[in-house]
Structure 1
Amino acid sequence: MFQELFITNADPNWRTGTIINLGTVIGGSTPSKAKPEYYTKNGIAWITPKDLSINKSKFITHGENDITELGLKNSSATVMPEGTVLFSSRAPIGYIAIAAGNITTNQGFKSVVPNDEIGTAYVYYYLKQNLSMIERLASGSTFKEVSGGTMKSVPAIVPDSKTIEKFNSFCLPIFEQQKVLETQNQTLAGLRDSLLPKLMSGELDASAIQL
């Protein structure tokens, strides 16, 4: 649908702008690792590129570690709303996911909080479609990175509201179904990982189960 609406049948009269015409670009931060009180297992979601390298899902709620309110207060991390499109800007460039709840990230991201009139789906697929272009804009001697200024200047097409509404109406129920299925898959994977060692060690006996 993205290909059909915005590439194959793109309107030459659509406005050309930059990413900031699609949403607000927000970087991340890492609370001091020397302060254990800044981190927790059940706090404010805090995502790193490593989390997206492990979790290949479209939607993400939490990473390996959360941060505490104190950690948030004593860093420049920003809480971003559900629907934010996370974009890893270094090490490596181009991991993309959608926040399934309020979320923060480390400095390895230049995330986009979509404007209400644009929506998450268009920003998500626009970044995926233009990943190669964004990678070419990266700079750095030690490793390539997309800076905040560079991300904000990435060229973007701003379609008319009717076409955006059509696309969002198409994507919304599909995204909701994908989110539910991913949550179910993660729950089942967690059950497998907790039960399998017990079955292998004999702690649990499944011999009486009728299949």
Structure 2
Amino acid sequence: MARENTITGGRSATSAVIPGRWALSVGNPDRWTPSGFEWARLTEIARLESGHTPSRRNSEYWGGDIPWIGIRDATSNHGRMIFETNQTITQAGIENSSARLLPAGTVCLSRTASVGYVVTMGVPMATSQDFVNWVCGPRIMSRYLHYILMAEQESIRRFAHGSVHNTVYYPEVKAFHVCIPQPQEQERIVALLGALDDKIAVNDRIAATALDLVSSLFAESLAEDSDSSITTLGDVTGINIHKASPTSGGVIRYIDISSVSVDSYTWPEVTAWEEAPSRARRKVSAGDVIWSTVRPNRKSRALILDDDSNIVASTGFAVLTPRKVGSAFLYEVTRRKEFVTYLESVAEGSAYPAVRADRFAKAVIPMLSRSRMVKFESEAMQLHHRIHVANKENRFLAELRDALLPKLMSGQVRIRDAEKVVEDAV
């Protein structure tokens, strides 16, 4: 099906050998494989495809019905199957550029400044030139290749090089080799790991639905409250009131800017205070809301419900502590479009627009009457706690998947043993 001289053109595959950790290598590493596994050149079992960006000067190429994967799509959907994209292109955009419409199941790897993000197309799509893409043949399942690339994140970043931005170049990509078992074994491994990912996806949908319900509750409460009023955020909230100081021998769970996205954050590992960056100075407690002060248009924010005294956020966050209002109310008013628009209007700086703490304090917010506030807080916090339970379960499932992933890909753990582990744990 696939061939060494793929339709991407350009330079031929490198002759260098750069082994990865588990099941991926630039060149054939010619090393021992477990029983039933073999090394195969990826371009011989999957068709390598490139991406392209149609001219942005021509409006007829954009806004069509063809999803087009860019870096933002990969960063927000890393490790997932993707069905929608931030931008779309038209058939004219395909016909008048080097962009290609690729089939569902195509595995995409970001290879430029943001190296290593992996997504799989859920429907036919095109991609930017920031990606290398594989249309898998019968010897390798697309989801199995997806899991190999997920397991080899460290290796993929090591394969990259460049003077300005690290990039995985095509000579290395064309020389990729993967260590794979027979298709039947791939199916069992994919089914096991996929079950964990599917459960994570279900929990994500539960959390998203619950958050939408909170917003509906708030809108309904505000619309029906004849005694509602307005105030400022600083009147009902403490902003950056608790500082964290390094302690000798102490530990920290550090939340940095990159670990927070829209309404979610990556649970930080425990590290020693001595290893924490100098920006680790904002103490965070359960019930606090954290909002990134940098680039407010990205809406990097989260409600913290983990009762862990070691959580510390970067000084790049405004930590909002409820005083005269509840945590659910505080979070909801800072999620409103009006609040985000205000932050964008008072941000300072061109390259990295940021909002000062005193600007947060002056933000105008709606206030519910006392009775409405109590009712909303009670109902909304029940939903937020359901979201929190789903997120905690996902942490456990993701840790289990990530622990099994490289061992299954390398054959260190066989599928029958992994199935027992998952059965006992889930």
Among 240, 251, 273, the alignment partner of 1:68 is 273
- Return the alpha-carbon distance in structure 1 between the equivalents of residues 241 and 234 of structure 2: 13
- Return the alpha-carbon distance in structure 2 between the equivalents of residues 76 and 181 of structure 1: 27
Let me know the Cα RMSD of the aligned residues: 3.4
Contact 1:138–1:144 (CA<8 Å) still a contact in 2?
A: yes
- Return the alpha-carbon distance in structure 1 between the equivalents of residues 259 and 229 of structure 2: 35
Match of 1:157, SS state, is: strand
Contact 1:39–1:66 (CA<8 Å) still a contact in 2?
A: no
Among 291, 299, 302, the alignment partner of 1:87 is 291
Match of 2:355, SS state, is: coil
Among 201, 210, 220, the alignment partner of 1:4 is 220
Q: 1:75 to 1:127 in 2, by over 3 A?
A: closer
Match of 2:239, SS state, is: strand
Name stretches of at least 5 consecutive residues in structure 2 with no aligned partner.
Answer: 1-216
1:159 corresponds to which residue? 368
Among 79, 85, 107, the alignment partner of 2:315 is 107
Q: 1:185 to 1:75 in 2, by over 3 A?
A: closer
- Return the alpha-carbon distance in structure 1 between the equivalents of residues 321 and 415 of structure 2: 48
Contact 2:291–2:302 (CA<8 Å) still a contact in 1?
A: yes
- Post-superposition offset of 1:107: 1.5
Among 178, 181, 184, the alignment partner of 2:387 is 178
Contact 1:28–1:108 (CA<8 Å) still a contact in 2?
A: no
Contact 1:28–1:76 (CA<8 Å) still a contact in 2?
A: no
Structure with greater Cα Rg: 2
- Return the alpha-carbon distance in structure 1 between the equivalents of residues 371 and 288 of structure 2: 22
- Post-superposition offset of 1:75: 7.5
Q: Partner amino acid for 2:334?
A: L
TM-score by length of 1: 0.78
- Return the alpha-carbon distance in structure 2 between the equivalents of residues 120 and 131 of structure 1: 18
Match of 1:77, SS state, is: strand
Name stretches of at least 5 consecutive residues in structure 1 with no aligned partner.
Answer: 32-36
- Post-superposition offset of 1:186: 1.2
- Post-superposition offset of 1:38: 7.5
Q: Deviations over 1:63-116 (max 9, x none)?
A: 3564628969x878242321100111104552110122343211211121011x
TM-score by length of 2: 0.41
- Post-superposition offset of 1:57: 5.9
1:26 corresponds to which residue? 240
Give the 4+ runs in structure 1 shifted more than 3 A: 27-31, 37-40, 64-67, 69-72, 207-211
Q: 1:155 to 1:39 in 2, by over 3 A?
A: farther
Corresponding position: 1:127 with 2:334: yes
Q: Partner amino acid for 1:90?
A: V
Q: 1:128 to 1:197 in 2, by over 3 A?
A: same
Q: Partner amino acid for 1:194?
A: A
Q: Partner amino acid for 1:96?
A: R
**Alignment: residue pair count:** 198
- Return the alpha-carbon distance in structure 2 between the equivalents of residues 30 and 51 of structure 1: 19
